[in-house]
Chains A and B, each alone.
Chain A
Amino acid sequence: MPEPLLEVKGLKVRFATEDGLVRAVDGVDFELERGKVLGIVGESGSGKSVTAMTLLGLTRDQNAAFEGEVVYKGQDVLTMPESRLRDIRGNEIAMIFQDPMTSLNPVYRVGQQIVEAIRAHESVSKRQARRRTIDLLKQVGIPSAEERVDAFPHELSGGMRQRAMIALALSCNPDIVIADEPTTALDVTIQAQILALLDKLRAEFDSAVILITHDLGVVASIAHDILVMYAGRVVEAGPKRELFYDPQMPYSWGLLGSIPRLDRPKQEKLHSITGSPPSLINVPRGCTFRPRCPYAFDRCTEEPELVNRVEVPDHLDRCWLSLDDKRRLRLETIAAEASIA
């Protein structure tokens, strides 16, 4: 197995707030290899965005406390001095944010912002940087890039702005691209284009991609491995096919079951996960999903570890149910209508 590009070990992030200690991330482990796409899936408040931002040191703050390690090229990002972090940010690890409207500066031209990023990390002339910017804009599929390079963000549509964001993220050929809900604000047609683009660019630049989303449909095509997060923890992790065809956590079943599927006959009633995610200040004891889990039993008050419980060694989960029970019970949620089809 090749050396992983990035290794996250026992990451915990806590924020002190007026209401108490928020355990935003409470135990996340993963490895990321070159050329791979890792999908991180979970609801709002599951800690997926905080995890991503911590990888870039963006959550550093007086009120934030960290535990664990984020090892990138042999160095721990968590303890790295700010100056070294600045070298990495945008250069070796880049981020694509969810909302292209608010993450581009509205008073600077799009091209200027990309030129600035390039010149911050490499000593090239303005003209060279501008030429590269135009090339990048072409690469991400922006038509008439020579003119659009001088456009302001508000002159571009949502899809175009997101492309510009991707161009900005790729401007220094990063090793890792973190895409935080890159398509949530976009129409499905544009979403399909952006996902195809991300995958193509990953193959071309041989970077690794971390794709964060709340929609399992988005990761189905381009991810290699998937982490499912709930209340700050990884509750299930494994290769994509394992997660889709042999999901072990009732939470993953719920996520899979609540997406209306166009390739199947219409369901009578959509499956939904009852209730809402717990407050991260007061996380339930034992299994954090217990209060919303329809299959919870006595043992669930005891905390389950993230370990391998199935035949495939890379597939980890946190659920006390026996393997047979899981494989039987999950049919109620995910495959109920497939058996009729």
Chain B
Amino acid sequence: MTENDGALLEIRQLKKWFPIHKGFMRRVSGHVHAVDDVSLSLAKGETLGLVGESGCGKSTLGRCVVRLLAPTSGEIVFDGQSIGQLRSRALRPLRRQMQMIFQDPYASLNPRKRVGTIISDPMKIHGIGDRQERKKKVEELLETVGLSPEHYNRFPHEFSGGQRQRIGVARALALRPKLIVADEPVSALDVSIQAQVLNLLESLQTGFDLTYMFIAHDLAVVRHISDRIAVMYLGVIVEISPAEALYDNPLHPYTISLLSAVPIPDPDVEAKRETILLPGELPSPANPPAACRFHTRCPYVQPTRCTTEVPELRKLGDGHFVACHWAEKIKAGAIEPIESTPIEPERQDPVEAPSA
């Protein structure tokens, strides 16, 4: 997409490949194409939802953005500065400005440190304030995220999952960052607690002037918090659009099937709802299908183009981009979905030859 002045973050043709080592000499025998040519931009104060199944590369993308991982190629421009290839020393002052909230509130807090230390350590490392000031700041932060200052001397294990995630949020806020990458921040929590954390993140956004990149696998959750949503499949973005447009008018067959899979807590709606069950599993990102990566599972796959031509992200609406050759025709109902019954039992005797 184009450059605009309000962009806090610009990602251009970002690739992250992980080498696969084999054998005694640890020869590189191939690469996992975790993120393969992704371009994105995030405006200041915006929330971008990043959705996809596990293994689609959404977490890798998030980690490249905050430079926990170095990208293989491509550019990341954060606040006017290219950070894609910076070394760790040069990155250090930038770390203050981008923080991360992790998925598992049980694993991402050091069990041996007290909450006060966990939240104040980032400030200490970056040389902010003296001991007294830091303590005061931590107490304020604890209140901001809905805990109480008395929790300062407690250990993480004394808290429930939702409370721990609040500690994670407080730690991310401690340095007053501009960008927060939240990697599945609520998927480990009960639904009732998810709503609490989502509301908290939303209310913090204006007060702290935050830009969020919100990674999740659940489309219902990201809808609530996102301004724009990008859908990823096997390392590439297949659809990106303003949030409501994506739900009202999903264009990519993958988005359509993802949306259809979200259960709705209403038996009557459930009974009428048609779930598009995608056949098979996510192909291996070490050897992604050629051309359109979704063609092996797509219910609308066509004999031409899908297998020969890589679909570009095309603009099909206001800020609505889709990487599908046939999006308009599918939308218009001109292409019928292929009936697939992925979980039908095959009772026949083995016919298929074992693959090599």
User: A44 to nearest B CB, angstroms?
Assistant: 6
Indicate whether A160 reaches chain B with its CB closer than 8 angstroms: yes
Measured CB to CB, the closest approach of chain B to A69, in angstroms, equals 30
- Interface segment among A60-68, A109-117, A190-198, A322-330: the answer is A190-198
Contact B278 A189 (CB under 8 A): yes
Within 8 A of B (CB), among A263-304: 263, 266-267, 269-274, 276-277
Contact yes or no, A139 B195, CB < 8 A? no
Q: How far is the CA of A147 from the CA of B344 in the complex (A)?
A: 19
Q: From residue 159 to 203 of chain B, which have CB atoms closer than 8 A to chain A?
A: 160-163, 190-196, 198-199, 202
A174 lies within 8 A of chain B by Cβ: no
Q: Which of B198, B258, B259, B345 has the most CB of A within 10 A?
A: B345
Please name all residues of chain B whose beta carbon is closer than 8 Å to the beta carbon of A144 when the two chains form the complex. 352, 354-355
Name the residue of chain B whose CB is nearest to the CB of A221: B270
For residue B204, CB closer than 8 A to chain A, the reply is no
**Residues on the A chain within 8 Å of B244, using CB:** 266
* A256 proximity list for chain B (CB < 8 A): 265
Q: Does B267 contact A (CB under 8 A)?
A: yes
Using Cβ atoms and an 8 Å threshold, which residues of chain A touch B344? 141
The residue on A at minimum CB distance from B297 is A189
**A73 interface hit (Cβ, 8 Å):** no
Query: B277 in the interface, Cβ–Cβ < 8 Å?
Result: yes
Of the listed stretches B78-86, B111-119, B220-228, B327-335, name the one at the interface; the rest are far from the partner chain: B220-228
Complex Cα–Cα for A263 and B196 (A): 21
Cβ–Cβ contact A192 & B261, under 8 A: yes
- B263 and A141 contacting across the interface, CB-CB below 8 Å: no
Instruction: Kindly state the separation between the CA atoms of A77 and B29 in the bound complex, as whole angstroms.
Output: 55
Q: State whether A193 touches B265 (Cβ < 8 A).
A: no
In the complex, which residue of chain A has the Cβ closest to the Cβ of B263? A217
Cα separation A273 to B354 with both chains bound (whole Å) = 53
Q: Which of B219-262 contact A (CB under 8 A)?
A: 219-221, 223-224, 243-244, 247, 257-262
Interface residues on B, range: 35 or more
- Do B262 and A141 touch across chains, with their CB atoms under 8 A apart? no
* B38 CB within 8 Å of chain A: no
Q: List chain B residues, Cβ under 8 A from A141.
A: 342-345
Question: Which of A187, A200, A255 is B191 in contact with, Cβ under 8 Å?
Answer: A255
CB contacts (< 8 Å) of A254 on chain B: these are 192
**B218 near A: Cβ within 8 Å?**
yes
A100 to B228, CA, bound (A): 34
Q: Which chain B residues border A340 with CB–CB below 8 Å? A: none
Q: Tell me the complex Cα distance, A159–B281, Å.
A: 8
For B269, the closest partner residue in chain A by CB is A263
Interface membership of chain B positions 142-166, coded 1 if the CB is closer than 8 angstroms to chain A and 0 otherwise: 0000000000000000001111000
Query: What's the nearest-Cβ distance from chain B to residue A337, in Å?
Result: 12
A206 CB, nearest partner CB in chain B, Å: 16
* B13 sits at the interface (CB 8 A): no
Interface string of A151-172 (1 = CB under 8 A from B): 0000001111000000000000
Given known pairs A143-B280, A144-B352, A263-B269, the reply for A188 and B217 (CB within 8 Å) is: yes
Say if the beta carbon of B317 comes within 8 Å of chain A. Answer: no
Residues of A within 8 A of B196 (CB): 272-274
User: Smallest CB–CB gap between A40 and chain B, Å?
Assistant: 14
Measured CA separation A221–B269 after assembly (Å): 9
B271 part of interface (Cβ distance < 8 Å): yes
Closest to A139 in B: B345
Is A261's CB within 8 Å of the partner chain B?
yes
Asked whether any CB of chain B lies closer than 8 Å to the CB of A4, the reply is: no
Cα separation A255 to B354 with both chains bound (whole Å): 48
* Cβ B219 vs Cβ A188 within 8 A: yes
Whether B258 and A262, one on each chain, are in contact in the complex, defined by CB atoms closer than 8 angstroms, is no
Q: Which residues of A contact B247 (CB under 8 A)?
A: 262
Residue B346 interfacial (CB < 8 Å): yes
B266 part of interface (Cβ distance < 8 Å): yes
CB closest residue in chain A, given B348: A138
Asked if A146 and B193 make an inter-chain contact with CB atoms under 8 angstroms apart, the answer reads: no
Chain B residues lying within 8 Å of A106, measured Cβ to Cβ, are none
- The reply to whether A43 and B192 contact each other, CB–CB distance below 8 Å, is yes
Is residue B110 contacting chain A, with contact meaning CB distance below 8 A?
Answer: no
Question: Are B263 and A258 within 8 A (Cβ)?
Answer: no
Contacts of A135 in B (CB 8 A): 347
A215 on the B face (CB < 8 A): yes
Given A157-B282, A188-B263, A260-B220: 15 more A-B contacts, CB < 8 Å: A44-B161, A138-B346, A146-B350, A159-B281, A188-B217, A189-B258, A193-B342, A196-B275, A196-B343, A254-B192, A258-B192, A262-B220, A262-B223, A262-B259, A277-B160
> Which residues in A have some Cβ–Cβ distance to B below 8 Å?
43-44, 135, 138-141, 143-144, 146-147, 157-160, 187-193, 195-197, 200, 214-218, 220-221, 240-241, 244, 254-256, 258-263, 266-267, 269-274, 276-277
24 of the cross-chain contacts (CB-CB < 8 Å) are A44-B190, A139-B345, A140-B343, A143-B280, A188-B219, A189-B277, A192-B277, A193-B342, A196-B277, A197-B343, A220-B266, A221-B263, A221-B267, A244-B266, A259-B191, A259-B220, A260-B221, A261-B220, A262-B223, A263-B264, A263-B266, A266-B223, A272-B192, A276-B163
